[in-house]
Amino acid sequence: MANAVPDPSTVSVGLRTAAHVGISVSDLDRSVAFYQALTGADPVVRDESMHGAGFARSQGLPITRLRYATFRLNNLGIDLIQFQEPTGKAAEVAANRPGSMHLCFEVEDLRTVYDRMRDAGFEFLGPPYTFTVEEVSPPDAAGTEVAYFNDPDGTNLELIAPKGGFARSG
């Protein structure tokens, strides 16, 4: 069911700071190990529990019991969430499926990070790619490098070494 889209000419909420991204996982321990290897950090919260009728209602569920772990990056948190009640079916995620998301990690030297990850056993969906001026807009983003891989539950992850219009402004 699609949500109604408010008219942006009449509504401007103004949300400009992201706190975290939440990723539903099937096995919290496996996912924590994956994200520890990926980030080189330990979770700041691990194996915590959330449950209760009010919390469940806030998520549109009849009941909720979950475990979670939180990683803190320099600019964003990653919450890994394993629903114990109710358990859900695995999503059919893919880059081209509406509703699928991806989480992108910015790096300075993509080829070095890619090689290090591949040597450590991370599996990529394809080789690194560098955008050319003919295939990217804005044109100054040419030279941006990307590489894609999945976490253990299929969440699409990206490495990016951004250039020009793809670079974050200070």
What's the whole-number mean pLDDT along residues 50-55? 84
Indicate whether 64 pLDDT > 90: no
Q: Interior CA angle at 123 toward 117 and 129, to 5°? A: 80
Evaluate if residue 1 carries a pLDDT over 60: no
Q: Which residues make beta-bridge pairs with 83?
A: 66
Q: Is the preceding peptide bond at 62 cis, omega within 30 degrees of 0?
A: no
**Percent of the chain topping pLDDT 70:** 98
Quickly list H helices, 40-159. Answer: 53-58, 110-120
Instruction: Determine which helix (DSSP H) or strand (DSSP E) holds 37, and give its type and residue range.
Output: helix 28-39
* Contacts for 118 with CB less than 8 Å, ≥ 6 apart: 124
Structure tokens at 70: 């939180």
List, for residues 41-52, the tens digit of each pLDDT value.
999 998 778 888
pLDDT band at 88 (very low <50, low <70, confident <90, very high): confident
Q: Tell me the average pLDDT across 138-145.
A: 88
Q: How far apart are the first and last CA of the chain?
A: 37
Radius of gyration (C-alpha) of the chain in whole angstroms: 18
What is the model's pLDDT at position 47?
Answer: 78
Which residue carries 């509703």 as its tokens? 99
- In order of 6, 58, 161, the CA distances from 142 in angstroms are 34, 43, 11
User: Which domains does the chain carry?
Assistant: 20-85 (3.10.180.10), 102-166 (3.10.180.10)
Q: 152 pLDDT band (50/70/90 cuts)?
A: very high
Average per-residue pLDDT for the chain: 89
